[in-house]
Structure formats: structure tokens, C-alpha cells
Amino acid sequence: MTTLLNGAMTRMTGAIKEDLKLARRVVIGMDCWSKKSLTASFLAISASFYHPSRHIPIHVLLNLHQIEHPHTGEMLADKLVETLEYWEIGRAKIMMVVTDNGSNMLKAVKVASDMKQTEQELQDSEEGDETQEEEDEEDEETDEEEEMLGEPLDDSDTLNLHRFPCLAHTLQLVVKELSKNQAYCSLISKVKQLVKSLRMSSVAQEKLTALCGKVPVKDCSTRWNSVLLMIQRLVEIRPHLEEVLKELKHDSLSNTEWSRLCDLQSLLTPFKEQTDSLQTDTLSLSSVIPALLELSLHLQDQSLPKTHTAPLLQSLRQRFASFLDASSISFDPLPAAACLLDPAVSAVMMRDDMGPLLIAAQSYIKRQVTIIGFKIHSRDHSISQCLYL
């Protein structure tokens, strides 16, 4: 059995390496988590890319490292570089590294960028340039220019790794702004206590199961949208729940509190939908800006309580300024460029209020085309080949 498994592992590894060699650009994903008892921690590193011959997006888990405490940026960077070297992924091919917003993850990508490049990666980055020295000079000039503009470094011209924030995780940070609202916290605290008492009562569980086949759902601090799932279940089984509570002589929620729960359900449901969409394996980067604009419009709905929507809207604009505000010092034009190049959503960029983003996207695309044209010219390719690419 061990021989068979090792053989299958070797064959699959070889196949994945061949697919990675064919990929033009690769997106790396990194995430850490610990067992509930904190007895073990793990770092997962994955790769996403579009297969040019099979014409499908692919997402594959490259490594699952068991890691020791403390989870420092240096240690995570070592694991990242180790994984890239094992799977023969040159850094010049990496479009971005997607992580959560933890300080150790930010540092890990920065440290990995600063680490000495392997001989293979240096060869991959040359690819026909006349000399490595000339390429280094071009990279230095590009780095200085882009740093002055306050934009991310151009991945096609440098081996620095470009970190991209996990969009679903950042959305959940926006939702957490509600925890600063005292009225919200008081209501959710009461709801949690009600759910806890019902789940601890076998009689209540049996009665609810008999009446509607469902029981209350408990929230989980480490599970995204769990508060919404708890609210949705309570609202769904409300008639049967109140019947059981009355029979057990247990206090229920007031009509006002039920109404506020319904408001919270309406407020949070679009966040859940966009979170579920943004964390799928095959999501296109062109969906980012439309998703953020939809949430922004949702939070401006006058039917929702302004005490909740105002702080969420402010947090959304602040946390995603790097995608929505072309004047931001941390602005990243890549999502806007992806949006402009996607026929299904490019109309979004043509709105009157999207002028700065449209200009930034066009400038980014022109810069990329110029870089490609220069590299092709340096390899003595014809103009027609340049236009074709």
C-alpha cells in the first residue's frame, strides 16, 4: 500500500509540476490555522492558475506544513520559499501572494521577497534578455519609478512578491465593526443566551424537531457569517420557537427585538453572499470591484438602520481604498484593470463616477503592453508577434 501511494504521489507531483510550467502566471495562497486544542498548527500553501491548453482554471494545494510556535514572519517566509523551490515556481511567474491581513503574513511575504533568489529563478527571470546586469538595471529603474507613484511593483519586471489581501477575510473585518455598536451587542448577547439555553434543553430540542425538524444554530467566533446563520435560523423557526418557549414558560424576544433581528438579517445577507462568492476557487479578479460597489450601494439603502450602515460603509471604503480610490497611496490597479478587460463587467468602468479608476486601469494595461513589447523586441521578434501577444 505504501509503495502504491508513493507511486501515485510521485506521478501526481510530476503532472502538477508540468502544469505549473505551462501556466503563464500563478497566484499563491497562504493561510494558517490551529487545532481547537492548540496542540498543532498548520500552514497551507496553494496555487491557482489558468491552464492554457485545457482552458480551465486550476487550484491545487501544494503543501500543508505543520509549523511550530511562534508563527513568525521569518518562519512562514522560509516555508513559502521552500514550497516555491520544491514545485519549481519561479518568482517572476507569480502574479500575487494572497494572505489574510495578519502582521506575520505581511512580514512573511516581505521577507520572502528579500531572500536570495535561486539560480533557476534567476534564469527564469532572464528569458532571453541580453545580460542579467541589464535586467537588474531595468528592475531598479522600474522599482524607483513605481515607488514614487505609490503603486505595487510590476511583477513582470521584478522578483519581488506582491501581496494581495484576502477579500473574504477583509469583508469579515468590515462586518466586525458592528461589534462596536452597543445596541447590536446587547441584542446579539441576548440572542446567544437564548440559543444556548435551548440547545442545553433536550426537551426543547425534541419539541422543535417534532414541530419543524430544525433546532437553533449556535454562532462560532472563528466561522465567517455565523452570527447571520444563527439569526436566519431563529427567524425561520420563530412561530414554532415561540410555541415551545411558551410551553416551557421561558422568555422569548420582544416584537421589537424580532424586528431588529430581521433588519440585521437584511443588512448582513449580502455580505454573506459576496463572501461566499469571493472565496470560491475559480473567482475572477474582475469580480472584485463590482462586488464592492454592490455592497456600497446596499449600505446606502435608506430602509436599513443608519446606526449600523454608516460605520460599515466607512469601514468598507477605508479597508478597500487600495482598490476603489485611485488617489490612495496604497492603490493597486490590478482589480480595475481586470474589470476593464472582462467583457462581462467592463461596463462598470464606464460609469461617470469611475473616471479615476478607468484612467488607472488603462495606464496599468498600457504599461504592461509596453513591457511585453520591449521584451519581445529584445528577443528579435516581429511587430506582428508583439501585437498577437
What's the order of all strands across the beta sheet hosting 56-67? 56-67, 41-51, 26-34, 94-99, 163-165
C-alpha cell at 113: 521577497
Residue 47's H or E segment, with its range, is: strand 41-51
Peptide bond into 335 cis (omega under 30): no
Amino acid making up residue 48: S
Say if pTM beats, i.e. exceeds, 0.85: no
Cα separation, 190 vs 194, in Å, equals: 6
Per-residue pLDDT tens over the stretch 4-29: 999 999 999 999 999 999 998 999 99
What's phi and psi for 43, nearest 5 deg? -125, 120
Spell out the domain ranges in the chain: 2-165, 169-279+286-302, 321-378
Angle value at C-alpha 59, between 75 and 349, nearest 5 degrees: 100
Closest by CA position to 98, among listed 271, 225, 283: 283
Per-residue pLDDT tens over the stretch 131-145: 334 444 444 443 433
User: What pLDDT score does 337 carry?
Assistant: 92
What's phi and psi for 318, nearest 5 deg? -70, -45
User: What pLDDT score does 193 carry?
Assistant: 94
**What is the chain's length?**
389
List b or e across 210-238, with b for residues whose CB sees 16 or more CB atoms inside 10 angstroms: eeeeebbbebeeeebbebbbbbbbbeebe
Give the torsion sign (CA, 70, 72, 76, 82). Answer: negative
Residue 59's H or E segment, with its range, is: strand 56-67
User: What pLDDT score does 119 carry?
Assistant: 45
How many other β-carbons are positioned within 10 Å of the β-carbon of residue 243? 16
Give the torsion sign (CA, 310, 315, 318, 321). Answer: negative
Please give the average pLDDT of every successive group of 10 residues along the chain, which has 389 residues.
91 93 92 83 93 89 91 92 93 91 91 70 49 42 38 48 90 92 93 92 92 91 89 94 91 92 95 89 84 95 92 94 92 92 87 89 87 51 39
Q: Is 279 helix (H, G, I), strand (E, B) or coil?
A: coil
C-alpha cell at 89: 515556481
C-alpha cell at 75: 518562519
C-alpha cell at 257: 427585538
Identify the residue whose cell numbers are 494558517. 32
User: What pLDDT score does 22 carry?
Assistant: 92
